[in-house]
Chain A
């Protein structure tokens, strides 16, 4: 086992250290970490660390602490010991999950994947570079170990809350290890996310607004190879009329943005996209395939209900038409996480959310915000999940 952060030693040994919700020692530590992540040299190399630094800046931390403790009817305390199993591939998720938990005063163990690279390494360097109160190293630990079931089992018995990211298979695998009776899991299974574009909204928008929308969408889609849980996949063109022109303009603008950013798709990914697009055609889910460029594949779906829920490659965009957002509701289910939108009125979006009734879709956000992490995620308020309540009457 490799200790990536925190004091080496028995991870499950009882600890005499006590942290409070919003403990100043943790707040100071996170604020110092934010300063390092927001340093221009870092933020330039890994833009996602900029967002993370922003999330951890003092004003934001203060707001989070206030939200945690703002309860009249109960006293708020840390949940206890939290074991985090973040995904291997999204470098920054583990920090969000851990930081909120640390802010809530928990003792944390984070399992860092041995496959972690790039931004994760920079974060770990930054964590270790902060001059912290010694209690931080004793209570906040990040470790890397292989597929060692005994360690996972011991940490599962140790924790009061186990946070499992990484999709269905990760959840199923980790869940084989029992928790103590009072503990529970917070799971982040496989998700699918969509984009909705209002045809009337697009027609009403001026060229600058259209371009700005596509820039936001391009970031959402290409940043994590369209494979993050909140990356938009299928684009639903909403609102009737002939949308051929809208789609053509959207695709053209998107290619232009991708061009300007200098984003590329390697041959393996190009083949991957062909395989998946052909498969959609072979099964009748797609009626037309366009390959204008390796970086963008456009697929015409036979209907909204045929939208694929699995990843089909970086820069692969199925399109389907629906009359209204409400018409889309039957095609949505529990697996669906984020719907990013352009061109709708607040009333239309509210009606959509109300009609969904929590049976699917946890986030409805404008183009450009799909990947912005929030303390409310996958339908959970993490600030609540990481604390516990004592009533006093």
Chain B
């Protein structure tokens, strides 16, 4: 069962109603959220782009939750670049929903059965408490959708060629899942597969984690796909998601080049000058909406990523298709104090 089914108009109709209900729900259960809406004068929305968005960074500085303390089942954290950490509160229901919907999204490209899984990372990230929150949680979250896991990198982060060969010998003749952060896949798996003629033809690659490190090496998303195709890996799906909207991922379609929104989510690209929604083709700030956040007000978030919608109802799957173009630089001011920068200084 795919979660990429709704054409944009029916999706917007369904989402607007559900998201408006979520606005009301969070307003009644999350006092800081109620205050923000009251202070900014929000009344109602007749379009998704009119829904009140929260800057995603607020989850790093405020405790935003719409459930009582004794119903908190899980607290997710993400490490930021400056040591600030987002805290996302889930109750049992929200935790179950996010896992289920993430699974449904991935099954669109992986099929209904768990596949043998090659993880392009090192097991040691699960031990390092500091990097655990970001990379480790990503890997662990994904690991539940695979079986017979093998780590492609050893504890020192070097390629474990024997391990990979062993995995391929055992599972290489049928579909298998490869997961890793984009730059690790590029740096380690691609190079090794090319050098040693590894057969990745039955692999389905799911990768994420931003292009910055690859852009620094002048590797574009297209080149990434083309080069991997040259070593036989043709089923490749990048995805975009964040802990502040856990369970929701925007997944690259089979023909590549665009991310698609599952039925329960959407994106709005905003002009950072007027804050109005921009039409396809014009890059701006990316807003992500999702009906999954029921235990915290993360249903309409303004990210600090730049993006562009390429088209609507004209790609592999219905709805908007878009790309993430990079990160908005952090604001810096001239000032007497060298430490005037972050929200908590």
Interface residues of A (CB under 8 A from B): 87-91, 93, 165-170, 188, 190-191, 224-231, 266-272, 274-276, 278-279, 281-284, 286-289, 291, 294, 300, 310-311, 313-314
Contact = CB atoms under 8 A, between A and B. Distances in A.
B242 to A, nearest CB: 15
A288 B41 contact: yes
Contacts of B336: 87, 89-90, 93, 165-167, 188, 191, 224, 227-230
A271 B334 contact: no
A281 B40 CA distance: 9
B245 to A, nearest CB: 17
Chain B contact residues: helix, strand, loop or mixed: loop
A276 B54 contact: no
B328 interface: yes
Interface string B64-95: 10000000000000000000000000000000
Contact of B40 (A188, A227, A289, A311): A289
Contacts of B46: none
Nearest to A86: B336
B13 interface: no
Contacts of A279: 58, 61-62, 343
Nearest to A225: B333
Nearest to B60: A275
B339 interface: yes
A294 B273 contact: yes
A142 to B, nearest CB: 18
Contacts of B150: none
Given A167-B340, A286-B39, A289-B39, A268 B335 contact: no
A294 B270 CA distance: 13
A224 B338 contact: no
30 contacts: A87-B336, A89-B334, A89-B335, A89-B338, A167-B338, A169-B345, A188-B336, A190-B337, A190-B340, A191-B336, A224-B335, A225-B334, A227-B334, A227-B335, A231-B335, A267-B272, A268-B330, A269-B333, A271-B304, A274-B302, A275-B61, A278-B36, A278-B55, A279-B343, A281-B36, A283-B32, A284-B35, A291-B275, A311-B335, A313-B331
Contacts of B41: 288-289
Contacts of B272: 267, 270-271, 294
Contacts of A168: 337, 339
A286 B39 CA distance: 7
B328 A267 contact: yes
Interface string B119-160: 000000000000000000000000000000000000000000
Contacts of A190: 337, 339-340
Contacts of B171: none
B329 interface: yes
Given A226-B333, A267-B328, A310-B345, A282 B58 contact: yes
Given A267-B285, A288-B39, A275 B58 contact: yes
A287 B333 contact: no
Given A267-B328, A281-B35, A289-B39, A90 B335 contact: yes
Closest 6 CB pairs of A and B: A167-B337, A227-B335, A267-B272, A282-B32, A227-B333, A281-B39
Given A311-B335, A313-B333, 12 more contacts: A87-B338, A166-B338, A268-B330, A275-B343, A278-B40, A278-B55, A279-B61, A281-B36, A282-B32, A282-B36, A288-B41, A289-B40
A90 B272 CA distance: 28
B57 interface: yes
Contacts of A272: 330-331
Which among B32, B35, B58, B335 has the highest number of chain A CB atoms within 10 Å?
B335
Contacts of A231: 335
B338 A169 contact: yes
Contact of A278 (B54, B273, B333): B54
A162 B272 CA distance: 44
Which among B32, B41, B304, B333 has the highest number of chain A CB atoms within 10 Å?
B333
A282 B302 CA distance: 17
Nearest to B273: A294
A313 B61 CA distance: 16
Nearest to A287: B39
B33 interface: yes
Given A267-B272, A279-B343, A286-B39, A274 B55 contact: yes
Contacts of A89: 333-336, 338
A279 B338 CA distance: 22
Contact of B335 (A228, A275, A276, A289): A228
Contacts of A88: 338
B335 A87 contact: yes
Nearest to A115: B338
Given A268-B328, A281-B39, A286-B39, A169 B343 contact: no
B287 to A, nearest CB: 12
Contacts of A165: 336
Contacts of A225: 333-335
B229 to A, nearest CB: 36
Interface string B306-345: 0000000000000000000000111101111111100101
A275 B331 CA distance: 11
Contacts of B333: 89, 224-227, 269, 311, 313-314
Contacts of B33: 282
A278 B343 CA distance: 12
Nearest to B306: A267
Nearest to B284: A267
A282 B35 contact: yes
